[in-house]
Amino acid sequence: MAQTDHNDIVPAIAEIAREAGSLLMEYFRRRVLIEYKGEADLVTEADRKSEILIRERIRALWPGHDILGEEQGFVDTGSEYRWYVDPLDGTTNFAHGFPVFCVSMALERKGQMVAGVIYDPTRDELFAAEKGSGAYLNQQRIHVSKTDNLAECLVATGFPSHKRHKNPNIFFYHQITLRTHGVRRAGSAALDLCCVACGRFDGFWEFNLNPWDTAAGVLIVEEAGGKVTDMGGGPFQLNSRETLASNGLMHASLVDEFRKIFSGHGLEPLPEIAK
Ligand code: IPD
Ligand code: CA
Ligand code: CA
């Protein structure tokens, strides 16, 4: 397929993501040898092998496309097509044997995201979206939740492995926990976004994510009827380092909570442990 046939694009990406997912599961079953890339940044042979496989498959099908992958970086040849690849999102979980991780792949054309696929091989769940055609989980149409009350929301967040001490998120985690049914921190931003898309979560936010973490998931949330912006409610940008996703109904309330927290609200002294 030298030309990019948009009708066939999602099934073709899904096949590659499933193949990479099977490879990850082989390593997962035999508990990989863990290597350390930096403080609390676990990198495994599986990350690298998965990216090699994905790059080979993309190059074979679409030789002229550019690829930005987490492990091998990016060479810009000026193609109008650009892939965003996270060959293993949830590396820390993976390395510890905690079964929450996935493969994330997205395709952009002329700066606009056209397709995204996220595959969770532990549950055999394949999330997919094509711009303008809705979002799907294992070929069933999915939609965001209908929750419209902050107190009844289940939301999710994540913490980066780099420079954790410089990340303000623990304050947000604290405040949003007090105002909702709870905040989950499962360790895969791509799957967190999928959970917003299919209504398991009502919202998700994180600081300092990278384009390969968000590219596919943001399209899947939007195609499922949700909304993604920066923390102030402004347009989401892949390089903005601020991601706030929701079912849309909760968006204004979440932006308002973030505004209050940014302005210092809720930074009370540590309470005593309740007896
Ligand atoms: C990480 C996961 C995690 C998020 C981190 C990411 P990785 O990606 O998405 O949920 O909190 O910010 O870096 O390193 O497992 O690909
Ligand atoms: Ca990631
Ligand atoms: Ca990764």
Phi then psi for residue 84, to 5 deg, are -115, 120
| Per-residue pLDDT at 119 | 99
For 170-202, the pLDDT digits (tens) are 889 999 999 999 999 999 999 999 999 999 999
What distance in Å separates the CA atoms of residue 224 and residue 143, rounded to the nearest whole number? 4
Mean pLDDT of the chain: 91
Structure tokens at 198: 């299919």
For 81-114, the pLDDT digits (tens) are 999 999 999 999 998 899 999 999 999 999 999 9
pTM: 0.93
Q: Ligand 1, residue 188: give the atom nearest the CA.
A: 10
Domain 150-263 has CATH 3.40.190.80: yes
Is the CB of residue 167 less than 8 Å from the CB of residue 263? no
For 29-42, the pLDDT digits (tens) are 887 666 666 655 56
Q: How far is the CA of 17 from the centre of ligand 2 (A)?
A: 15
Give the domain ranges of the chain: 9-141, 150-263
Ligand 1 within 6 A of 225 CB?
no
| Per-residue pLDDT at 275 | 64
CATH topology of domain 9-141: Fructose-1,6-Bisphosphatase; Chain A, domain 1 (3.30.540)
Three-state DSSP state, 248: coil
* Closest protein CA for atom 12 of ligand 1: 160
Ligand 1 within 6 A of 188 CB?
yes
Q: Do domains 9-141 and 150-263 have the same CATH topology?
A: no
Q: How far is the CA of 259 from the centre of ligand 1 (A)?
A: 25
Ligand 1 within 6 A of 72 CB?
no
* Closest protein CA for atom 6 of ligand 1: 160
Q: What percent of the chain has pLDDT over 70?
A: 88
Alpha-carbon distance values, 63 to 4, 47, 58, 83, 207 (Å):
10, 22, 7, 12, 34
